Amino acid sequence: MNLANEERQSLINLAREARKFAYAPYSKYSVGAALRTKSGRIYTGANIENAAYPQTMCAERVAIFKAVSEGETEFEAIVVVTNNGGSPCGGCRQVMAEFGLNTIVLFADGDGNIKNEMTVSDLLPEAFTPAHLL
């Protein structure tokens, strides 16, 4: 799947907007995500930290869980925006792998500049997927 430039920019803008709602009082590392499903719906998320650190939820997983909770399990692309264009954590990579290794993942910085683009498969080689449970 290829994303047109205007689709990329639209998702980046939505992720940047979602990032404004991040709750990151401890790390000060705000993250926004925008997920496009195969049906064309868009779900956004922001990271939500917690004083009990392990209870923190990443923006990527917020967006994915919102989509799944509404019946969407097939994804085309996800954009992650951080101040420096950082990559998704290992936990988010595994959750992405659950729903499709061909999903496009874009990382952008706080100004909306794309820093990297790849598939989930590229991001998490040799991913453990539902097929391993058969």
- Given this model, what pLDDT does residue 3 score? 87
pTM for the full model?
A: 0.95
What distance in Å separates the CA atoms of residue 82 and residue 85, rounded to the nearest whole number? Answer: 5
Residue 69 confidence (pLDDT): 98
> What percent helix, strand, coil does the chain show, rounded to 5?
35, 25, 40
Say what the pLDDT of residue 8 is: 94
**Of 60, 74, 98, 126, which one is the catalytic site residue?**
60
pLDDT of 1 reads: 64
Q: Does the pLDDT at position 86 exceed 70?
A: yes
Residues 6 or more apart in contact with residue 68 via CB below 8 angstroms? 99
Quote the CA–CA distance of 38 and 76 in Å, as a whole number.
5
* Residue 134 in this model has a pLDDT that exceeds 90: no
| Average pLDDT of the segment spanning 96-125 | 97
Active-site residue, 60 included: yes
Span 3-61, pLDDT tens digits: 899 999 999 999 999 999 999 999 999 999 999 999 999 999 999 999 999 999 999 99
Residue with tokens 């998320």: 45
Residue with tokens 């939820």: 57
- Domain limits, the chain: 5-133
Question: Does CATH number 3.30.499.10 belong to domain 5-133?
Answer: no
Residues 70 and 103: beta-carbon distance below 8 Å: no
